[in-house]
Structure 1
């Protein structure tokens, strides 16, 4: 694949920046402050611009994690991170026209971000919902990797995973109903994992899987996004 190293580079910056951001997020920090910090970290690491409507970090805190909206209208709020809370972050760095795209869900317990594995050790009923959401996101990515093939269409993958979301007791929150998109040089050219898209996966070089979900009886939304590609017929994570 042409330019694979360029995409690996910018995505690696997104991953490192997300890790650094986890040390910044704590009780009392606002959504807007998290956005500013995230974009500063990306810029300090060489990111030139942000491909998603010039938004470097799409951040939501607390029950605002249920909101799904286009970057055209997104504005970070003054919502503060609570003592036991949840924060979703979606990074959109760009270097030399090559995109990164990476989203994670941070869990805050007793005022600080905890590692996903630590959730299992928290004697806190709030952590139960948080942990279940994180576990479900990981499960969906495993199902995605097990199901997807170059000859399958974007629609087939969408229908399979959207059904899985429902069977797991969750709701697809995406405002457009999709579960991911291709990586392009212009955002208007993206193909989506959505109903009606009969394009074969193998025709795309890079694509994201990014379910935005909420448990049917839950109060919070969850995100987890990675970029995938096929290399000699084998699915890889960027």
Structure 2
């Protein structure tokens, strides 16, 4: 039996293991170069976004979620919240991922998919909060080689092996932001989450 573990031995995004925001700070979107862990004490009822960037040698992970605490306990599924405002946000994230899997095709460009998904964000009554305006990126061995899911990027989706979809959204002018990120890949022209 091997003693090797699958634990992360580094963090690929600016050396930051987790971006964590709570309450009204969940609308914050910053580069890893500018991130500082906030000094924040969680309440018994709280909305938290967490974005992880673990790395094991040259293999990346990327995962973000909106978590909800009710009565001091994290909900297993944030859609179980009794807060109607928070339910709208986390449900919109799930609808966005469903739409993403439905419309993405290998022959699409990053630009075409970004336009479609930004339009869908607006249709659901939300806005994109990402500080760069993108909705995800390719998974690479070097952070500088990422290909972004953004307007103006005319590379095809099938030019990369894997892509993240990580919309960071809020109601226009709203107090809370929501995130949900998966890594996707195509197999036989169908999109699958890792």
Same fold at TM > 0.5: yes
Taking the TM superposition and a 5 Å limit, the aligned residue runs for 1:83-162 are 83-116=44-77, 117-119=79-81, 122=82, 127-162=83-118
Provide the secondary structure at the position in 2 that maps to 1:227. strand
Please report how far the alpha carbon of residue 179 of structure 1 lies from its aligned counterpart in structure 2 after TM superposition: 0.2
**Equivalent residue in structure 2 for 1:226, among 176, 182, 192:** 182
Please report how far the alpha carbon of residue 45 of structure 1 lies from its aligned counterpart in structure 2 after TM superposition: 5.5
Gaps of 5+ in 2: none
2:24 maps to 1:68:
no
Cα distance in 2 for partners of 1:134, 1:223 equals 8
2:35 maps to 1:79:
no
Taking the TM superposition and a 5 Å limit, the aligned residue runs for 1:5-16 are none
Higher helix proportion (structure 1 or 2): 1
Q: CA RMSD in A?
A: 1.2
Matched residue count:
189
**Equivalent residue in structure 1 for 2:16, among 55, 64, 72:** 55
Please report how far the alpha carbon of residue 131 of structure 1 lies from its aligned counterpart in structure 2 after TM superposition: 0.8
Provide the secondary structure at the position in 1 that maps to 2:33. coil
The TM-score normalised by the length of structure 2 is 0.94
Find runs of 4+ consecutive structure 1 residues off by over 6 angstroms: none
Cα distance in 2 for partners of 1:179, 1:46 equals 27
Provide the secondary structure at the position in 2 that maps to 1:72. helix
Cα distance in 1 for partners of 2:99, 2:187 equals 19
Cα distance in 2 for partners of 1:150, 1:118 equals 34
Contact 2:6 2:56 in 1 (8 A): no
Q: 1:4-35: CA deviations, max 9, x gaps?
A: xxxxxxxxxxxxxxxxxxxxxxxxxxxxxxxx
Cα distance in 1 for partners of 2:40, 2:148 equals 31
2:165 maps to 1:204:
no
Contact 1:129 1:218 in 2 (8 A): no
Provide the secondary structure at the position in 1 that maps to 2:118. helix
Cα distance in 1 for partners of 2:165, 2:100 equals 8
